[in-house]
């Protein structure tokens, strides 16, 4: 009996060593059992329509646990896009089905020279629960106006995508936010701020 225990004890480290080498250093995020579908309405977005389509494509290509698609009607949308004359602002999510998120795509960002698709993808990132990171590089979509108007990257990076996947990992049954916060993005050399509504 003792010989069997010693033999098994000797095999365990060998077996662990054989399997440990086969695990990749960074596992690819897996989709949750239930992919959350968020619907949006862009009927009031005017010239931003192409940028919104690109933003949805960018997020859908980057994440696994949530999928963005146009709503069948404005009334059934989980969030809406609107063109405004002011600064871009968004509901800070994560927004879930049945939610009431809003993205205001402000003309002042365009006047400052910022890329429409970058602005739309950035503001959609807020809907998906990502905060601003203005100190980040151009490769981060949530760095927003930080890198300046010459930055036209409109795709989220792997870290941002992983955070969104984590936000939606529990599917549509995840806990909802109690309060509603709006992030106002000033796309110039002034700080952004969040307000509770």
| Catalytic-labelled residue, pool 102, 107, 123, 140 | 123
Residue 90's pLDDT is 96
105, 123 Cβ separation under 8 angstroms:
yes
pTM: 0.77
pLDDT (tens digit, 9 = 90+) per residue, 126-164? 999 999 999 999 999 999 999 999 999 999 999 999 999
Residue 115's pLDDT is 97
Q: Judging by DSSP bridges, how do beta strands 89-92 and 181-184 pair with one another?
A: antiparallel
Instruction: Indicate if 108 belongs to the active site.
Output: no
Radius of gyration of the chain (CA): 21
d(CA 153, CA 39): 24
């Amino acid at each position: 009996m003792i010989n069997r225990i010693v033999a098994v004890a000797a095999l365990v480290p060998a077996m662990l060593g054989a399997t440990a080498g086969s695990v990749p250093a960074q596992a690819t995020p897996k989709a949750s059992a239930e992919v959350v579908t968020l619907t949006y309405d862009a009927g009031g977005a005017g010239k931003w329509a192409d940028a919104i389509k690109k933003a949805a494509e960018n997020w859908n290509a980057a994440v696994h646990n949530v999928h963005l698609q146009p709503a069948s009607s404005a009334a059934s949308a989980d969030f809406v896009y609107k063109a405004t004359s002011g600064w871009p602002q968004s509901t800070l999510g994560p927004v879930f089905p049945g939610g009431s998120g809003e993205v205001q795509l402000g003309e002042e960002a365009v006047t400052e020279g910022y890329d429409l698709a970058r602005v739309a993808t950035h503001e959609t990132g807020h809907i998906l629960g990502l905060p601003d990171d203005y100190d980040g590089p151009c490769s981060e979509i949530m760095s927003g106006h930080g890198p300046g108007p010459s930055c036209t990257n409109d795709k989220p990076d792997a870290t941002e995508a992983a955070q969104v996947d984590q936000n939606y990992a529990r599917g549509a049954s995840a806990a909802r936010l109690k309060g509603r916060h709006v992030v106002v993005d000033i796309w110039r050399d002034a700080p952004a701020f969040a307000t509770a509504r």
